[in-house]
């Protein structure tokens, strides 16, 4: 029965691809116990069709549960608009049926699939940097500009994933909105947790080889791989629950919700020549909280390169929490800044060398690193708007 239904959906599917178009159309039938439930099912089916056009059937089956939890749960957020082709109609069985034409935001959907490692993400453009480099002399004379160009292509959000967590420790689609009364009866406080995790495998597969090639061709010298080991016992981190019911992140002490662990690493001291600095690249093939291997590359100190690296560390991302109604319209959008120098050490000042390139998440400039990071999200909104909330979405937006 499930196979026949999927075939039926496939037959209904129609898509329009225009040059530069970002929307993909899908005709879908939804069935539910109410009109709202039928519409939600139709939106879900429409997004599922577009996912099927972007992902191979093998990958679709293999990642079925992940697609349901991380993509289809937020179907409303991917449908920009829809048209009702056949209005909601009740059947003798008691079920309601509706047919719609949905316009799905393809690029937004692609980004979500990429963030959960279902679609492959590449460091676009980096592979073509060498097309113009005919001689080693040209590479050395333009090393600074080429290194900055390569580093500017790095996008931390391509291999970082964000997941909601509630005060009971439920994550993803199972997380429940935490609503807390305030002294003002017309307003309530919303408190949720967010966990940002690293996809080390994606970094190793798609980013690490390109960077290694670039650094080796541009550096003046390099060292063999050095292991950075932890100097103290890894500590757990996650959330505590305050007296008023709000979630607070913490990386030590007693925790109500454990999200992961960190390790305070110290790499062996490497002597740097005068007027030179080092960039350390994480070359480990798998993630281990207690140790990772790095190659060190020497580069001449220049004002332009130092300025670029400093500005990179001072930039930030936006962690955005979105609440929507049954039509996919935003009720509330709340964003908070996540700074690179504290949290995403794609380029990070550290002890023992000048900069590191690594997919890990840091917790201080002192070198405490891990595979995840916890954040608390707290804000106020109108009490009257809470009843209209039908979906929640968490997004890590690009570097600012």
Q: Which two tokens stand for residue 73?
A: 């749960």
Q: Determine the Cα–Cα distance for residues 199 and 345; give it in Å rounded to an integer.
A: 14
All structural domains of the chain with their residue ranges: 2-115, 132-397
**Contacts made by residues 335-344, CB under 8 angstroms, sequence distance 24+:** 335/397, 336/375, 336/377, 337/400, 338/196, 338/375, 338/396, 339/314, 339/315, 340/156, 340/312, 340/313, 340/314, 340/315, 340/316, 340/399, 341/313, 341/314, 341/365, 343/196, 343/373, 344/156, 344/160, 344/317
In this prediction, residue 188 carries a pLDDT of 95
Residue keyed to tokens 């996919």: 328
Q: Which two tokens stand for residue 9?
A: 């959906």
Give me the residues of the chain with pLDDT under 50, please: 1-21, 121-123, 127, 129-134, 347, 351-353, 365
In this prediction, residue 135 carries a pLDDT of 53
Task: For residue 191, give the nearest of 375, 390, 387 by alpha carbon.
Answer: 375
Q: Are 14 and 27 spatial neighbours (Cβ–Cβ below 8 Å)?
A: yes
Q: Determine the Cα–Cα distance for residues 9 and 30; give it in Å rounded to an integer.
A: 10
Q: Determine the Cα–Cα distance for residues 160 and 137; give it in Å rounded to an integer.
A: 37
In this prediction, residue 400 carries a pLDDT of 57
In this prediction, residue 30 carries a pLDDT of 85
Q: Determine the Cα–Cα distance for residues 336 and 330; give it in Å rounded to an integer.
A: 17
Q: Are 81 and 87 spatial neighbours (Cβ–Cβ below 8 Å)?
A: no
Q: Determine the Cα–Cα distance for residues 39 and 292; give it in Å rounded to an integer.
A: 49
In this prediction, residue 75 carries a pLDDT of 73
Write out pLDDT tens, residues 310-340.
Answer: 776 666 788 899 999 988 899 999 998 876 5
What number does CATH give the domain 2-115?
3.10.28.20
């Amino acid at each position: 029965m499930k196979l026949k239904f999927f075939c039926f959906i496939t037959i209904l599917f129609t898509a329009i691809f225009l040059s530069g178009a970002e929307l993909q159309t899908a005709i879908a039938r939804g069935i539910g116990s109410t009109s709202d439930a039928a519409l939600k099912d139709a939106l879900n089916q429409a997004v599922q069709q577009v996912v099927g056009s972007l992902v191979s059937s093998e990958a679709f089956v293999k990642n079925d549960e992940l697609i349901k939890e991380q993509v289809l749960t937020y179907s409303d957020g991917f449908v920009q608009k829809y048209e009702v082709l056949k209005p909601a109609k009740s059947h003798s069985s008691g079920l309601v049926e509706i047919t719609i034409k949905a316009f799905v935001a393809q690029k937004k959907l692609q980004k979500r699939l990429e963030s959960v490692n279902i679609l492959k993400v590449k460091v676009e453009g980096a592979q073509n940097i060498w097309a113009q480099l005919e001689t080693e002399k040209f590479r050395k004379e333009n090393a600074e500009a080429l290194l900055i160009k390569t580093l500017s292509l790095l996008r931390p959000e391509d291999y970082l994933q964000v997941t909601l967590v509630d005060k009971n420790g439920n994550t993803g689609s199972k997380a429940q909105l935490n609503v807390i009364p305030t002294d003002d009866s017309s307003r309530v406080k919303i408190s949720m947790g967010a966990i940002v995790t690293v996809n080390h495998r994606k970094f190793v597969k798609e980013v690490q080889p390109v960077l290694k090639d670039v650094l080796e061709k541009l550096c003046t010298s390099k060292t063999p791989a050095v292991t950075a080991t932890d100097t103290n016992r890894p500590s757990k981190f996650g959330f505590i629950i305050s007296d008023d019911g709000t979630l607070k992140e913490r990386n030590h002490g007693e925790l109500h919700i454990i999200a992961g662990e960190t390790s305070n690493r110290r790499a062996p001291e490497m002597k740097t020549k005068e007027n030179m600095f080092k960039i350390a690249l994480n070359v480990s093939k798998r993630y281990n909280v207690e140790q990772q291997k790095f190659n060190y590359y020497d580069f001449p100190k220049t004002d332009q390169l130092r300025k670029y690296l400093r500005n990179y560390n001072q930039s930030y991302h936006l962690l955005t929490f979105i609440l929507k109604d049954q039509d996919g319209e935003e009720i509330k959008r709340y964003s908070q800044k996540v700074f690179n120098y504290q949290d995403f050490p794609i380029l990070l000042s550290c002890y023992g060398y000048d900069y590191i390139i690594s997919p890990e998440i840091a917790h201080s400039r002192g070198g405490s690193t891990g595979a995840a990071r916890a954040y608390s999200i707290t804000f106020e909104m109108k009490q009257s708007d809470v009843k209209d909330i039908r979906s929640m979405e968490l997004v890590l937006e690009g570097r600012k």
